[in-house]
């Protein structure tokens, strides 16, 4: 849906919140397309997502021409700035944290990876076919394995080697590239490097990682080997926002596959890669659709 606005809200729960928000949108002439809300009863918190049209046109008659008689009733543009000012007053009254965005500008996403390319290839394919509504101005890797794939999709590639002795210089270069390309979201598509706290602080709730286990189980490196050694019957993959704590950020999406004693590490890796593709693609799409709210170390993912 083009020409829409999305309002994300979290605040202390109380009676009448939905009515107050919907009423203000109604007064401003909004055509609400989607609305969803959630309550955390233990913490007494309320969360809401509302999406509405910001521009609309008159209907077409059977010949494909505009219906001039009804044009005044349908043609129009939503006064977004007027609504922003009015909602700010309501938000202060009710103690709301809120985000108001439109799809007038497509988010700009940078993809990072190392040697494993299955998640990268999947994201690029979904982007090319229109499933991911964003711009991808940059691919960054500490290996050259992805360079040919980046060239196939016409995305600029930057090789930034990372060593223990020069990690700070590498990150400074990466951050400069992100700023140069106006990046809004960083996606770690199996980027096998730990980002510094300073890097993470530059993109709060805007770095998405995929971890090849069902977190919080088997954090760190070689989780499939650890899962096989433990003899688990389910393996999984997790997409999450990156925080300073390794593999401990707010979880966005997870999926699992059943395995048995017959499966070896190689089987777990092969089956896990399918899960990794899925959970990462879902997380990126939901972030781009502005369906995620973080609170504490958890997320609300709206339908």
Distance CA 255, CA 124 (A): 21
Annotation says 85 is catalytic: no
Strand ranges across the sheet with 135-141: 157-159, 135-141, 108-113, 185-188, 207-211, 234-241, 251-258
Catalytic residue among 10, 122, 247, 255: 247
> Cβ(208)–Cβ(185) under 8 Å?
yes
The torsion defined by the Cα of 184, 188, 192 and 197, in degrees rounded to 10, comes to 40
Q: How far is CA 175 from CA 59, 218, 287, in A?
A: 47, 29, 21
Which runs of consecutive H residues, i.e. helices, occur in 65-117?
71-74, 80-94
Classify 119 as helix, strand or coil: helix
* CA gap 303, 298 in Å, rounded: 16
Helix axes 80-94, 17-27, angle to 10 degrees: 160
User: What tokens appear for 267 in the block?
Assistant: 């089987």
Q: Which of 208, 186, 170, 209 is nearest to 136 (CA)?
A: 186
Which residues form the catalytic set? 247
């Amino acid at each position: 849906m083009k020409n829409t606005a999305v309002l994300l809200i979290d605040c202390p729960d109380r009676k009448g919140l939905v009515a107050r928000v919907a009423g203000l949108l109604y007064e401003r002439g909004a055509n609400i397309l989607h609305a969803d809300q959630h309550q955390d009863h233990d913490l007494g918190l309320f969360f809401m997502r509302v999406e509405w049209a910001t521009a609309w046109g008159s209907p077409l008659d059977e010949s494909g021409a505009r219906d001039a008689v009804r044009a005044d009733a349908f043609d129009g543009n939503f006064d977004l700035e007027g609504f922003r000012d009015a909602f700010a007053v309501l938000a202060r009254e009710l103690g709301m944290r809120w985000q108001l965005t439109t799809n007038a500008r497509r988010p700009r996403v940078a993809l990072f990876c190392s040697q494993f390319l299955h998640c990268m290839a999947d994201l690029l394919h979904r982007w090319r076919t229109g499933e991911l509504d964003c711009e991808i101005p940059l691919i960054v890797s500490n290996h050259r394995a992805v360079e040919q794939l980046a060239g196939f999709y016409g995305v600029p590639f930057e090789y930034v080697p990372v060593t223990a002795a020069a990690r700070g210089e590498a990150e400074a270069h990466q951050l400069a590239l992100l700023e140069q390309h106006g990046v809004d979201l960083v996606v770690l598509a199996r980027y096998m490097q730990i980002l510094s706290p300073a890097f993470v602080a530059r993109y709060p709730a805007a770095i998405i990682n995929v971890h090849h286990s069902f977190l919080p189980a088997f954090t760190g490196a070689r989780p499939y080997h650890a899962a096989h050694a433990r003899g688990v019957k389910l393996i999984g993959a997790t997409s999450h926002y990156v925080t300073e704590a390794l593999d401990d950020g707010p979880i966005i999406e997870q999926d699992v596959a059943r395995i048995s004693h017959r499966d070896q590490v190689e089987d777990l890796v092969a089956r896990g890669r399918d899960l990794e593709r899925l959970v990462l693609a879902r997380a990126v799409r939901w972030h781009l659709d502005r369906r995620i709210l973080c609170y504490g170390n958890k997320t609300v993912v709206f339908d």
